[in-house]
Structure 1
């Protein structure tokens, strides 16, 4: 009876416990284990922690003193007092907390300190004015690049709205509406995302998102920059590309780089030619690609356009030979460390698409897959590709083949004439 009462009390405690429930406001997620297990390091900051999820990591303590230096400079030039800034963050605290998918193991006061100090660090880092240019971060390019990388990690984010609120409060009199030349925080965020998006060779004529847009954080801004236009519709179907790049090339498909593209989704298959925007694959490509895909898995389950792109290129590049086709066409500019570029590229796209759950697909990609499959199945295309490969692959082969054909025709004519003369 006593044990039963003890069990009853424990079960009642479970009923009384307030569970952690993700709300519609949730936008900053711990990457699911089944996704992160293929490369855990791609989701963890290496230099600086931002927000509560990695706060207190012993590996990142060295940067904490540096963040305080940036925080001090921010407070010194802020038009708002420290108490006003703290009041702002305290008022926003329930909304900020609701943005995180994980339980925050900090007191409210500790949480407020993390948010304000990290916000000040980010704002000062984005300014790049005369003060920061003389700082150690900006004098060591490797450190600056590493911070850039850390700032786009999904788990290492602050909500965009709190950064914007603090920025606007601190520099209210200096913003464009006040007659001064301070950029809006949206513009600063956009400029940062654009500066680290060099891995995708994009059309430089770009517009930042509208001021009233629903950008969530830096990872989301990076995704916005990669999309850059209203994506196509979606259909409840999976990609089914039956052949890889080398097989398609052997069937006569030509691979052409689309240098005028304004979005990485601008793929087109027409008249036997597949055009794909260029992408530069370097050591940091896997990190941003994985984090954007993770964001789509967690927050955009019905709008995972970048995931579709990764899956399509993964289908194209099953082997090193397939990657070589895209590299030779100039679609992929590979500057990954080491000499075996084809192996690195093929592995990257196939690793990123592992353990990804999809429920629908970009209709344009589905159509391209259907058209490519149909093109490959046509025996005429494969026969013509074989003829071109065997007899017209080089100018010398073409000249020899044409000479042989002419000689054959002349021989036939001569034979016919000889027969007619005999008669």
Structure 2
């Protein structure tokens, strides 16, 4: 009996040991997993990461897929697995071959080595952890960077068939390269161009050959205004969309009379729509010789706005540039969202679009006027953060609201002139009002019985 009890005790002891060993193993696995995750965290403690390439918020991404997802080519990690871009993924290899063939003195290993050196810095630029192994991430940087450069070089040579056999696809390619979620860091592209062409010596003096190439060949969606060269060095440019953003900004980011970042007492609400202002006597005119697309003014009931052609290309660029501005709203001024807020205030329905079209301010190349109204309202609703008391068009908003508030005085004066110019007219108007009130009361009591 004692031997049996001893055996049971020994078995329990062994079971306890096994359980403890298993718990130790499990604890080691948790420790290893947590250490691995901590090691994968990018950046340094207490230092913000230099994130420049963001995902759009999911809560409105579903309503803007056509403006947010690449149609032909994926750049960067966010959309590389989409079915629609797989054909171009295969074509990137022939594009890489063409790019490498431009300088036969350099081996493939030179480019690859530089991309390996940039991997950590490039990963930090993405707002989400990129779940690609090191070899796949480095390969993506090389393929996508060389694709962009080869696309630019073939545009310059007007080698259309070498770019794509479908002419319509070239415009889509250009648009895809400027999507908010479809980017790689500019320093990756610059390094590849530098390796092949040696352009680093004068870049900080604004003489970057790569920037000159981009300015020369990349299509600009707002044809009415010249693409402005960036007032920052190429080392400060975050990606191609950022470069486009700097190209649309007004000189020195300052407007005219509207006055950016005005402080003090100001308007605190949006303005009436174009049809309401039109009924109130406001005249809309196309601005002649505007400085830029933001050169909007309001004086004595006359609103002048620069001409703009609204098509699918403009929608794409404007949506993504506003998204970029909002993604860094604590670092950048709210110039584009101010413009969208102004236009969405003016354009609520297709009736408002028609008024601006008749005034030669808008040319609509979308299917109908309703699509224009929907675009501006959708863009304004999805992007947030505009302070109506302190923004780029503060002066315009303030002047329009003050004008609107005085309209009733004008109507009252008109009423006094037309209906109360003599005693007999006044008596007739009052009599008619009394009859109307009595009729309404009689109808009400009859219905109540």
| TM-score normalised per structure 2 | 0.75
- For residues 410 and 370 of structure 2, the distance between their equivalents in structure 1, rounded to whole angstroms, comes to 27
Deviation track 1:272-309 (CA, whole Å, cap 9, x = no partner) reads 22111221111232222221111112123452211111
Cα RMSD over matched residues?
A: 3.4
- Higher mean C-alpha deviation, range 75-84 or range 133-142: 133-142
Does residue 196 (structure 1) correspond to residue 220 (structure 2)? The answer is yes
- For residues 352 and 142 of structure 1, the distance between their equivalents in structure 2, rounded to whole angstroms, comes to 26
Q: 1:332 aligns with which of 355, 362, 385?
A: 362
Equivalent position of 2:70 in the other structure: 45
Larger Rg: 2
Tell me, which stretches of 5 or more residues in structure 2 are unaligned? 1-15, 255-259, 416-449
- For residues 60 and 77 of structure 2, the distance between their equivalents in structure 1, rounded to whole angstroms, comes to 21
Does residue 84 (structure 1) correspond to residue 107 (structure 2)? The answer is no
Does residue 217 (structure 1) correspond to residue 226 (structure 2)? The answer is no
Equivalent position of 1:412 in the other structure: none
Tell me, which stretches of 5 or more residues in structure 1 are unaligned? 388-423
Equivalent position of 1:68 in the other structure: 93
Q: State the number of aligned residues.
A: 377
Judge conservation of contact 1:50–1:158 (CA < 8 Å) in 2: yes
Judge conservation of contact 2:306–2:361 (CA < 8 Å) in 1: yes
Judge conservation of contact 2:178–2:240 (CA < 8 Å) in 1: yes
* Closer, same or farther: CA 24–11 of 1 in aligned 2, 3 Å: same
* Closer, same or farther: CA 330–251 of 1 in aligned 2, 3 Å: same
Does residue 246 (structure 1) correspond to residue 275 (structure 2)? The answer is yes
Q: Alignment partner of 1:295: what SS?
A: helix
- For residues 392 and 125 of structure 2, the distance between their equivalents in structure 1, rounded to whole angstroms, comes to 33
Shift in Å at residue 207 of structure 1? 3.8
Does residue 59 (structure 1) correspond to residue 87 (structure 2)? The answer is no
* Closer, same or farther: CA 205–161 of 1 in aligned 2, 3 Å: closer
- For residues 328 and 90 of structure 2, the distance between their equivalents in structure 1, rounded to whole angstroms, comes to 33
Judge conservation of contact 1:313–1:349 (CA < 8 Å) in 2: yes
Does residue 350 (structure 1) correspond to residue 373 (structure 2)? The answer is no
- For residues 264 and 384 of structure 1, the distance between their equivalents in structure 2, rounded to whole angstroms, comes to 37
Equivalent position of 2:296 in the other structure: 267
Q: 1:311 aligns with which of 332, 335, 341?
A: 341
Equivalent position of 1:123 in the other structure: 149
* Closer, same or farther: CA 287–364 of 1 in aligned 2, 3 Å: closer
Equivalent position of 1:284 in the other structure: 313
* Closer, same or farther: CA 355–134 of 1 in aligned 2, 3 Å: closer
Does residue 297 (structure 1) correspond to residue 323 (structure 2)? The answer is no
* Closer, same or farther: CA 239–80 of 1 in aligned 2, 3 Å: farther
Q: 1:230 aligns with which of 247, 252, 258?
A: 252
Deviation track 1:72-128 (CA, whole Å, cap 9, x = no partner) reads 011111353221111111111111111111111211111111111111111010112
- For residues 287 and 185 of structure 1, the distance between their equivalents in structure 2, rounded to whole angstroms, comes to 24
* Closer, same or farther: CA 31–130 of 1 in aligned 2, 3 Å: closer
Q: 1:142 aligns with which of 168, 190, 194?
A: 168
Q: Alignment partner of 1:280: what SS?
A: strand
| TM-score normalised per structure 1 | 0.79
Judge conservation of contact 2:274–2:346 (CA < 8 Å) in 1: yes
Equivalent position of 2:4 in the other structure: none
- Higher mean C-alpha deviation, range 372-381 or range 15-24: 15-24
Higher relative contact order (CA 8 A, sep 6+): 1
